[in-house]
């Protein structure tokens, strides 16, 4: 993967009687507020195997400029964090009521809500775009982000366990494909504005925002997306009609590689490691990081997988667990083939349990392994 460069393009807007304003383009942003093509964020669990317990707000961070994990300068609940800097654009759009910008926030666990809609996707994310470009974020944090009128915050319920987030900047033409992907997994949107100027290009997103009847969606759909800086991502969108484990039945077989999968371990119907198809999926039990922190999967709420063989260099981040009940849920995975991402997190020990044919222990040191 080629290293990105810091860049910020300003557009001169003439408003009313020749009043000029400079506005930065919509993009994922790092802790310094600089635009980045993409970033990965791994919020560390409150309890790790190290001697010093954290606050449950620290996170590891990597983006298209750094290509290496580093401990964040700020806590994830601060507006200076990468998520805070990125979502600041969304909150400012809400306050300005700008009708040339579209946005949506979705989560299967909505802030301040006690209801739960099993017909909606088990998916969490946010997007913001204009007719030039925008960003799309996918994460694992319930009840996040807050409603736009409440301002940026991080939920206390998100502190105990590890969480993961990915943000990617896209040119506008990619959002027509994203619109189709969203249709497949039917997210539960709770804050949105899709002005009519986007109706022709984003019809499904506009219907999702309005709560209107949706057209028929494919059981699953794979899209190849290109970031603003030309990086390629595969996006797997699963509807509730595709009744199977997304990792075993689709992702591993599509990528033609064995996968090491991390997901929520507190479900009553956890799936064992699976060797039934040509390409296998093994559950992760223990995670080690370049920061000399280790934690068990039982302390992690993130959802991700990496190729077991380093040379395959696949990393996928999404929002579905390896649990029997999730076979009936819609959701998605972002897949990326890149050595730099694989090298940045050392997954120290993997134990695939519950299936003798898959039982093994792998130790990986410094290098081949990646993150969330």
Q: Which residues are catalytic?
A: 301
- Residue 70 is encoded by which pair of tokens? 């580093």
Tabulate helix, strand, coil % of the chain (nearest 5).
20, 30, 50
Kindly state the helix (H) or strand (E) to which residue 350 belongs, with its residue range: strand 349-351
The answer to whether 71 touches 58, Cβ cutoff 8 Å, is yes
- Residue 56 is encoded by which pair of tokens? 């449950």
The helix-helix angle for 175-185 and 203-210 (nearest 10°) equals 40
Distance (Å, whole) CA 65 – CA 44: 22
- Residue 229 is encoded by which pair of tokens? 């800086």
Residue 238 preceded by cis peptide, ω within 30: no
- Residue 75 is encoded by which pair of tokens? 């806590």
Name the nearest CA neighbour of 130 among 99, 106, 91.
99
Burial of 158 (0-12, 13-18, 19+ CB in 10 A): buried
The answer to whether 82 touches 72, Cβ cutoff 8 Å, is yes
Distance (Å, whole) CA 53 – CA 69: 20
Strand pairing category for 259-262 and 281-283: parallel
Distance (Å, whole) CA 280 – CA 273: 8
């Amino acid at each position: 993967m080629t290293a990105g460069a810091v860049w910020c393009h300003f557009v001169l807007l003439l408003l009313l009687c020749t009043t000029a304003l400079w506005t930065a383009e919509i993009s994922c942003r790092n802790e310094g507020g600089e635009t980045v093509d993409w970033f990965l964020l791994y919020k560390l669990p409150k309890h790790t195997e190290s001697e010093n317990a954290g606050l449950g707000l620290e996170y590891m961070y990597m983006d298209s400029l750094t290509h290496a994990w580093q401990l964040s300068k700020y806590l994830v609940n601060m507006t200076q964090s990468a998520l805070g800097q990125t979502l600041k654009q969304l909150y400012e759009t809400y306050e300005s009521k700008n009708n040339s910008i579209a946005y949506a926030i979705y989560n299967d666990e909505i802030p301040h809500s006690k209801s739960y809609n099993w017909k909606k996707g088990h998916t969490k994310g946010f997007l913001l775009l204009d007719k030039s470009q925008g960003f799309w974020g996918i994460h694992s944090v319930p009840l996040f982000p807050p409603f736009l009128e409440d301002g940026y915050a991080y939920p206390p319920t998100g502190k105990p366990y590890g969480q993961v987030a990915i943000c990617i900047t896209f040119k506008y033409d990619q959002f027509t494909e994203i619109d189709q992907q969203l249709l497949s997994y039917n997210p539960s949107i709770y804050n949105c504005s899709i002005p009519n100027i986007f109706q022709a290009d984003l019809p499904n997103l506009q219907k999702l925002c309005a709560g209107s009847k949706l057209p028929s969606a494919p059981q699953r759909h794979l899209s190849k997306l290109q970031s603003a800086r030309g990086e390629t991502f595969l996006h797997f969108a699963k509807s509730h009609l595709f009744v199977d484990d997304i990792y075993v039945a689709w992702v591993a077989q599509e990528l033609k590689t064995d996968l090491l999968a991390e997901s929520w371990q507190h479900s009553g119907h956890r799936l064992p490691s699976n060797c039934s198809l040509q390409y296998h999926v093994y559950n992760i039990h223990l995670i080690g990081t370049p920061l000399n922190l280790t934690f068990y999967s039982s302390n992690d709420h993130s959802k991700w997988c990496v190729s077991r063989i380093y040379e395959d260099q696949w990393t996928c981040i999404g929002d579905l667990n390896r649990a029997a009940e999730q076979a009936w849920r819609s959701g998605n995975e972002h897949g990326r083939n890149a050595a730099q991402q694989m090298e940045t997190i050392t997954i120290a020990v993997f134990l695939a349990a519950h299936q003798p044919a898959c039982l093994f222990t792998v130790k990986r040191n410094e290098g081949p392994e990646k993150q969330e």
